Chain A
Amino acid sequence: MSSPSLTLPSPAPAAARKRRVLEILGALAIAGTYIYLVLNQPADITGGPGSASALIALSGFLVGAILLVVAVLPTLPTSTMVLIPVALVLNIVLGQFVGSTLVPFYLDAIGTVLIAVLAGPAAGAATGALSSIVWSFFNPTVLPFAAGAALIGCLAGLAARYGLFRRFYLAPVAGFLTGIIGGVVSAPVAAFVFGGTSGVATGAIVSAFRSMGDTLLAAITKQALISDPMDKAIVFAAVAVLVYALPRRASLQFPFVRRHRVLAGKAPEQGS
């Protein structure tokens, strides 16, 4: 019969358990850091820059993101691995472009969400984190947002898994909700690591809240609640347009798309 070298053995379950543990640890690191920062924030901001909070935000979120990458990356098939650089190119090219304009949006997650829809939440999370890591090669300020980007990828994958990309109008709704969660989680990074936001337009919104006497974290969280949900709604809608424009053979090569019937049978009608 068949010689073993030409065929692959069935995948072993033991390795999967170890990876699941790493995933949970990563998620715990991110959640724990967030809770600690929110509980401890008031005393901190006036204590001057470089305070312990910046270090805790940085290390907690980074460790969490790295654990997620370590857990997920080795499990991805080559067909997903080669798509990650494509996603990163889309993220960086669009993000760099929009960040330089005076629009209070980022649009730096189109590639991440695209992967999440095609390959699932785990791949989406890893792509989000890697996107921040690789982008920091040109712009080190995005590195601390790796955990937030991973969360967006994971939530987008879950939205796809539960059929929110089957109807064109549901995608922006899912994006809006994802944006709320993502914005709230990323706000402490902006507040404690940067002491503000990295764009002028978003900075103006924060200033408005600060002038009403909000704490820095509250002001940035409110700004995030204004920008992020709209931003992610636009991103999810754009990704829905893109995945339905892909030839079916291309999208159906991904087992995640087939198994969970991510896309509707036929492209839904949408305004052009």
Chain B
Amino acid sequence: MHLALFIIFAGLCVAGALNLLLQRHPINSALSLIVVMSSLAVLYLLLGAEFLAAAQVIVYSGAIMVLFTFVIMLLNAGKEERTHGSRLAYIAGFPGAAALLGLLTYIFLSHSATFGQARLGEYLATTDDISRVLFRDLLLPFEVTSVLILIAILGAVALARKEH
């Protein structure tokens, strides 16, 4: 059951990410990114992070992606023209990314036994557990992030304002 759910939603994740890579219209890329983020929320749920699964749907596939689609429509972004990027990206970037993927996959799979197996329904982190740590041990960082959000709102308004 767990393995079947993992395979379905991991497949959806990878398919969505590849679709983001291959589509040429930004709105198609944005919609496939929503698919990736929503299936990641299911994977968080499978790993027992129920609060973060809800936050992923609300914050990422809700708020952030709505902002993205809104900006795409506001700027009336059309199909991107395929120009050749920098040569350094092709020479160093893709082999680097492929080497990183190969190395990480090799390390994770060869140490698979030490990572252990995830069983469905064990170690469920409820909102209660998370807030206990967040509001007792990490109250100051939590309050500092509220200042960060406030500054980000002010910065966004100041940057996007029309100049007279």
User: Are A and B physically bound partners?
Assistant: no
Give the B-binding residues of A (Cβ under 8 A): none
Give the A-binding residues of B (Cβ under 8 A): none
